């Protein structure tokens, strides 16, 4: 914490076989969610090789390993395409391995120098993504009762992290960007009020 804000920092330092270190904050079994609104006000790290994410994974993996039990990506940003921010969901039927993922991308001005609001609205009927309160993504439940298309009827938890390199953030990494930080002003959760199964 610095000036009342959370700083997730990636460093250039050797740790085992890794050339970089960072942190991943995880709410699993501390705060798990089933429906509602989550808002995260954040300033993203700059630089080629950075891959910050605000995302959600299933608490209990009830339908099996990834992607069967689902994934919700509230915000992903890769430094090699600065300012282009992504919102996605992954399921057994819709995922990037098959090239069928449900995703949206939007240019966010000054994403690495200013704070912006990244938000998900999640109900039994839909998942919607918002950047600065503007809807950029919508995925509807087809109500077929099939986890392959809608595994989002179970609890999920929140993750915040910065990856360095990787299969999307890399392969190139600018060695002059460190320390690279994602700064979180606040996280808010509003429970879903409505009829759910």
- Residues of the chain above pLDDT 70, percent: 98
Q: Where are the beta strands (DSSP E) in 46-146?
A: 50-58, 71-77, 84-90, 102-107, 116-122, 126-131, 134-140
For residue 2, pLDDT over 90 is answered with no
Mean pLDDT (the chain, rounded): 95
55-67 average pLDDT score: 98
Whole-number CA gyration radius for the chain: 17
Residue 89 confidence class, pLDDT cut points 50, 70, 90: very high
Domains of the chain: 24-176 (2.60.120.200)
pLDDT of 194 = 74
Residue 197 confidence class, pLDDT cut points 50, 70, 90: very low
71 among known catalytic residues: yes
For residue 1, pLDDT over 90 is answered with no
Q: How far is CA 183 from the centre of its chain?
A: 14
Please give the torsion angle defined by the CA atoms of residues 8, 50, 41 and 121, in that order, rounded to the nearest 10 degrees: -120
135 among known catalytic residues: no
Catalytic-role residue among 13, 39, 71, 82: 71
Catalytic-role residue among 13, 39, 76, 140: 76
């Amino acid at each position: 914490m610095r000036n009342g804000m959370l700083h997730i920092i990636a460093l250039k330092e050797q740790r085992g076989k890794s050339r970089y270190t960072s942190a991943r904050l995880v709410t699993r079994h501390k705060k798990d969610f089933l429906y509602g609104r989550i808002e995260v006000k954040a300033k993203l790290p700059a630089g080629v090789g950075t891959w910050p994410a605000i995302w959600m994974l299933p608490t209990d993996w009830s339908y099996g390993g990834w992607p069967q039990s689902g994934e919700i990506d509230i915000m992903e940003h890769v430094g090699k395409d600065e300012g282009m921010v992504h919102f996605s969901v992954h399921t057994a039927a819709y995922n990037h391995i098959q090239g069928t993922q449900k995703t949206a991308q939007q240019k966010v001005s000054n994403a690495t120098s200013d704070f912006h609001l990244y938000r998900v609205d999640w109900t039994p009927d839909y998942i919607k993504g918002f950047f600065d309160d503007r809807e950029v993504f919508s995925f509807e439940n087809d109500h077929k009762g099939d986890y392959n298309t809608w595994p989002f009827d179970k609890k999920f938890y929140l993750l915040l992290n910065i990856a360095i390199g990787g299969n999307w953030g890399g392969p190139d990494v600018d060695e002059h960007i460190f320390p690279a930080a994602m700064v979180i002003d606040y996280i808010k959760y509003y429970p879903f009020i409505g009829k759910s199964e």
